[in-house]
C-alpha cells in the first residue's frame, strides 16, 4: 500500500459505501496534496493537481473553492494560494489573500505547521458522503463515537450532525412541524464543549428546531 492511502473503517457497514462521494473525497485528497506541497515549499499547477486527483482540470476549481471556503471560515492560512496556472499566475477564483502581496501569503503558508491540523475532509477518506454517514448514524449501524473519531473538526461534525437530525426528524421542526431544511437548525441538548466523544454526534443528544422554536417564539 502506498503512503497516504486511506484505510476505510466503514468497509463492513453497507450503509456507507464509496459510490457518489465525488466532491468530499476529492476535497480530502486535494487537502493532502496541498499540505504536501506546502511542506516542500513548492507550488503546483492546475494541470498537475488535476492529474494527481485523476479528474478533468476544469473540476479542480470546484475542489479548490471548497478548500478555500473552509480555510476562510476557520480563519486558516490560504492553502489554495499554492495553485497556479501554466504562466505561474493564480486563478481568478482565489480570494483568500491580497493578490498584490502573494509572496507574504506564500511565506506564511510555507512556514505553518500543517501537521497540527487534521484533514477537515477526513470523513470522506473512504468515499463516504455526509448523507451516507448520517444514514448510518440514524440506523445505528455505526456508533457516534466511531464517526467522531473520523470527524474531529467541529465544523464538519456539525454538518454531519445536522444531516443526521434532518433524517431523524424527517426534515421538520421537532416542536412546530415546520418544513424547510434551509431554516432548520441542529441544536445539541448537551453542549458540544460539554460532550464526550460518544455524545457529540449522537442523534439522541440533538433536536431539530426552526428559528422561532430555537429562540422561544414557538407557542
User: Cβ(46)–Cβ(162) under 8 Å?
Assistant: no
Distance CA 21, CA 28 (A): 11
Query: Cα 160 vs. chain centroid, distance in angstroms?
Result: 9
Q: Which three cell numbers stand for residue 120?
A: 477537515
Q: How far apart are CA 30 and CA 172, in angstroms?
A: 35
Q: What is the arithmetic mean of pLDDT over 106-115?
A: 96
Contact status, residue 132 vs residue 15, Cβ threshold 8 Å: yes
pLDDT, tens digit, for every residue of 154-208? 677 888 899 999 999 999 999 889 988 888 999 999 998 898 888 999 999 999 9
| Least confident stretch, 21-30, 93-102, 136-145, 179-188 | 21-30
What pLDDT is attached to residue 7?
30
Query: What tens digit of pLDDT does each residue of 112-144 get?
Result: 999 998 899 988 888 888 888 889 889 988 888
pLDDT category at 6 given cuts 50, 70, 90 is very low
Structural domains in the chain plus CATH codes: 22-116 (1.10.10), 129-214 (no CATH)
Confidence label for 100 from pLDDT (cuts 50, 70 and 90): very high
- The position carrying cell 486527483 is 53
CB 94 within 8 Å of CB 65: no
Output the CA angle 32-37-38, nearest 5 degrees.
Answer: 100
| pTM exceeds cut of 0.75 | no
Residues 103, 106: Cα–Cα separation, whole Å: 5
The pLDDT value recorded for residue 5 is 33
Computed from CA positions of residues 72, 97, 93, 103, in that sequence, does the dihedral angle turn out positive or negative? Answer: negative
Amino acid at each position: 500500500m502506498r503512503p497516504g492511502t486511506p484505510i476505510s473503517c466503514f468497509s463492513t457497514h453497507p450503509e456507507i459505501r464509496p459510490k457518489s462521494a465525488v466532491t468530499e473525497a476529492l476535497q480530502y485528497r486535494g487537502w493532502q496534496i496541498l499540505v504536501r506541497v506546502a511542506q516542500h515549499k513548492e507550488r503546483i499547477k492546475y494541470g498537475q493537481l488535476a492529474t494527481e486527483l485523476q479528474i478533468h482540470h476544469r473540476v479542480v476549481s470546484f475542489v479548490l473553492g471548497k478548500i478555500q471556503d473552509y480555510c476562510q471560515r476557520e480563519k486558516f492560512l490560504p492553502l489554495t494560494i499554492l495553485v497556479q496556472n501554466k504562466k505561474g499566475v493564480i486563478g481568478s477564483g482565489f480570494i483568500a489573500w491580497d493578490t498584490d502581496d502573494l509572496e507574504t501569503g506564500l511565506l506564511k503558508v510555507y512556514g505553518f505547521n500543517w501537521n497540527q491540523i487534521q484533514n477537515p475532509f477526513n470523513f470522506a477518506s473512504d468515499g463516504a458522503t455526509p448523507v451516507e454517514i448520517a444514514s448510518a448514524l440514524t440506523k445505528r449501524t455505526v456508533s457516534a463515537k466511531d464517526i467522531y473519531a473520523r470527524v474531529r473538526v467541529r465544523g464538519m461534525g456539525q454538518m454531519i450532525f445536522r444531516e443526521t437530525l434532518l433524517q431523524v426528524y424527517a426534515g421538520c421542526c421537532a416542536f412546530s412541524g415546520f418544513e424547510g431544511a434551509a431554516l432548520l437548525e441542529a441544536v445539541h441538548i448537551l453542549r458540544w464543549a460539554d460532550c464526550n466523544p460518544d455524545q457529540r454526534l449522537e442523534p439522541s443528544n440533538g433536536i431539530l428546531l426552526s428559528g422561532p422554536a430555537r429562540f422561544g417564539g414557538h407557542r
